[in-house]
Homo-oligomer: A and B are copies of this chain.
Amino acid sequence: MNYTKKLMIFLNVTLLVTAMQFSGFVQAEEKKPYVPKKMDIYEGFPDWYNSVFKDNVGLKEGAGLFKDYYKPLKMQMYFSPLRHYEPPTVMDHTLFIEKERRDLCIRCHEGINTGAVEDWRRSAHFNPRKSGIIARKTKIIEGAIGKEIVSVDCFDCHVDTEKKQIRLPSAEECSECHERQVREFNSEKDHGRPNHIQAWEANVLVPWYPEAYRRGWLAGNGGCDMCHGISDKCDPCHTRHTFSAAEARRPQACMSCHMGPDHPDAESYGESKHGVIYEMEEERYNFDKPLAHVLVGEEYRTPTCQFCHMYQGGGRFTHNFVSKGIWRMGTVPPSNIEYKSSLKDYPYGINIIAPKIDIHSEENLDKRDKWIELCSNCHSPRFADTYLEQLDDFMFQAFGLTDDAQKIIDDLIADDILYPSSQNRDIYPLGDKLAELLPASLIGDGVWNAFKKTGGKVPVIGPILGVYALFYQGENNPTHIETSYAKMWFWYKLQGYKGFAHAQQDIMWWWGQSPMLQELGNIQSEAMRMRREAAIEQALGSKVSHRQGGGSESHQPLTKKVGEFLQFFSVNE
């Protein structure tokens, strides 16, 4: 018999009996219940947001606009509890909840989940006066919620007293005491994506997610869920059950998510001089202090992730990590350079993705000033300003190379050389459903019509829609040249970007600029070969059986098609 089942039956019996024995005492201790107030984590979001992202549906349906097109992986009840948690069924905790038997949680779980309980015992939740600074914070919280806090125990977070059931706490439960932090976190939405509060969108709102489900690959996407669940959880940074602010102030707190091709932050910071000095002098960094009180130089010799990215200017730090983001994730083309390829028309009338970024907008210049203010803690303002300018130049050049590559593929498609053509390959992920699922107002008339007419058989390349090449593989969609291009603008450009931004020169060059050039060469070679082969087939005429279907409108890249469509209707966004 399975261990879990055995354990559970044992517990059921033992504990229910125990509970009954003690219930006499408990009933005498009746008191006026404290009713906590909690924040709506999606406060300020559009109306439809709660119904597709928040309202708990357990594991019955998904989240977002494609919620009916995939069933969540079971683990999502832990990664995205607000929407997907289902209370445990192996053991009925109702009686303990009704009697408010706080004492019993520990009694059992101490033996089962010793580590979790020990963590909690080390936490400020167990001892809200464990240090001077924590006592002061507790005092403030007590004032705000109007209640004395002796300790915060299992019951407070894990019990839904209304529904009388076990819950997995989300940021909303945390907001009962830590409202300011959750409100700051919510404020990230005001600065556009990417951000943490909307991270779950980028996970499930992309068509390759439900497509992966349709093809039976969703477990493979489980990796996405683990990070993107940060939308409604606090414990990715303040790990359970210590929930330590000091821990969350350490660079390592960010690193298990912020690594890899799309945001090599751990690597680029960790191996930069900033990171290396942190590693060498770690014990001198005072993580118990709130960031605003840190003595620069004395307590932090170099900045941490948090010190730079939580900084709001004027000496203020909040739980908003994106307010100073200029290039953001590095994937959106800047409006400040000229494009030769169909990148000219980006974002092709699509309203759901951000338009080109004006790096020199007033707003971005203000952000830059805050960066210079920050860097000037140690460096000269001129040094900081020059460095940031060179970072911009790098990014302009990287988008220039991206443009070169996109032009090569644009031309292949326009000349009906890309092999196989969009007609002779698999659809764009969920391409057969997109026009049905997404209103033209969201994805633009041009794109909507293209998908509608072809059932998803449109060639799509480049930022952002073309990133599917790294997340999906249909039959011959994408082909090698498109994957190579996707790696160029997404994977390697982002390595170069973060290498530059975090001053890790080797990552900047060797995992960034150099492989971008290598992929460009590969794209050239691949395009040249496709042209050579097409010319051979041309010369052979009808003798070759493997010819493409005849050239047609749908062979034009989505980008070009949309551009023309927009021009035609004089749509101006």
- B528→A226 contact, CB < 8 A: no
**A55 to B150, alpha carbons, bound, how many Å?**
69
The reply to whether the CB of A210 lies closer than 8 angstroms to some CB of chain B is: no
Find chain B residues with CB under 8 A from A242 CB: 301
A72-95 near B? 1/0 per residue, CB < 8 Å = 011101100000000010100000
Q: Are A521 and B223 in contact (CB under 8 A)?
A: no
Cβ of A56 to closest chain B Cβ, rounded Å = 17
B276 contacts A256, C-beta separation under 8 Å: yes
The answer on a CB contact under 8 Å between A223 and B539 is: no
Q: With A75-B390, A394-B220, A528-B476 known to touch, is A266 a contact of B271 (CB < 8 Å)?
A: yes
Residue interface mask A278-307, B partner, CB < 8 A = 1: 011000000000000001111011100000
Taking a contact as CB atoms under 8 Å apart, the answer to whether B220 and A513 are in contact is yes
**Given A224-B509, A480-B522, A535-B546, A390:B296 Cβ within 8 A:** no
> What 0/1 readout, one digit per residue, does chain A (505-545) give for beta carbons within 8 Å of chain B?
11111111110111011101110110111011111100111
* Shortest distance from the beta carbon of A416 to any chain B beta carbon, whole Å: 15
Given contacts A378-B116, A390-B74, A470 and B508 within 8 Å (CB-CB): no
A366-380 contact mask (Cβ, 8 Å, vs B): 1 or 0: 000110110011111
What's the minimum C-beta distance from A504 to chain B, rounded to whole angstroms?
7
- Say whether A345 faces chain B, with CB atoms less than 8 Å apart: no
A131 within 8 A of B: no
The answer to whether B537 touches A536 (Cβ under 8 A) is: yes
Instruction: Give A227's nearest chain B residue, CB to CB.
Output: B505
> Is A45 engaged at the interface, CB distance under 8 Å to the other chain?
no
Q: Which residues of chain B are within 8 angstroms of A500 by Cβ–Cβ distance?
A: 222-223
Q: How far is the CA of A300 from the CA of B265 in the complex (A)?
A: 27
- Complex Cα distance, B256 from A221, in Å, reads 29
Given A365-B2, A390-B74, A419-B528, A220 contacting B496 (CB threshold 8 A): yes
A113 touches B376 (CB 8 A): yes
- A499 and B257 alpha carbons, distance in the complex (Å): 12
- Expressed in whole angstroms, the Cα–Cα distance for A475 and B88 within the complex equals 59
A8 touches B381 (CB 8 A): yes
- Any B CB within 8 A of the CB of A349: no
Scan A45-88; emit 1 where CB is below 8 A from any B CB, else 0: 00000000000000000000000000001110110000000001
Q: Is the CB of A470 within 8 A of B2?
A: no
Q: Which of A93-121 contact B (CB under 8 A)?
A: 112-119, 121
Q: Are A297 and B118 in contact (CB under 8 A)?
A: yes
Evaluate contact between B536 and A382: CB separation under 8 angstroms.
no
Which residues of B lie under 8 Å from residue A220 when comparing CB positions?
394, 397-398, 496, 509, 513, 516
**Interchain CB contact (< 8 A) of A521 among B382, B473, B518, B521:** B473
B473, B481, B496, B546: which contacts A518 (Cβ < 8 A)? Answer: B473
A479 to B114, CA, bound (A): 53
Copies of this chain held together in the complex: 3
**Among A378, A387, A475, residue most surrounded by chain B Cβ atoms (within 10 Å):** A378
Given contacts A252-B279, A255-B271, A506-B260, contact A539 B535 (CB under 8 A): no
Complex contacts, A323 vs chain B, CB 8 Å? none
Chain B residues with CB under 8 Å of A8's CB are 381
A143 within 8 A of B: no
Within 8 A of B (CB), among A155-207: none
Q: Do B280 and A256 touch across chains, with their CB atoms under 8 A apart?
A: no
Complex CA gap A220/B504 in Å reads: 13
Given contacts A252-B279, A296-B115, contact A545 B537 (CB under 8 A): no
- A sample of 29 inter-chain contacts (CB < 8 A) reads A2-B365, A4-B385, A74-B390, A75-B386, A77-B386, A88-B380, A114-B297, A114-B377, A114-B378, A115-B297, A116-B378, A117-B297, A220-B394, A220-B516, A222-B390, A223-B508, A223-B510, A227-B506, A247-B277, A256-B276, A256-B505, A472-B517, A473-B521, A479-B528, A480-B521, A480-B525, A483-B518, A536-B540, A539-B543
| Residues of chain A whose beta carbon lies under 8 Å from any beta carbon of chain B | 2-4, 7-8, 73-75, 77-78, 88, 90, 112-119, 121, 216-217, 219-227, 239, 242, 247, 250, 252-253, 255-257, 259-262, 266, 271-273, 275-277, 279-280, 295-298, 300-302, 365, 369-370, 372-373, 376-383, 385-387, 389-390, 393-394, 396-398, 400-401, 419-420, 469-473, 475-476, 478-481, 483, 487, 496, 499-500, 503-514, 516-518, 520-522, 524-526, 528-529, 531-533, 535-540, 543-546
- 4 additional A-B pairs beyond A216-B397, A217-B400, beta carbons within 8 Å, are A223-B506, A223-B513, A227-B505, A535-B545
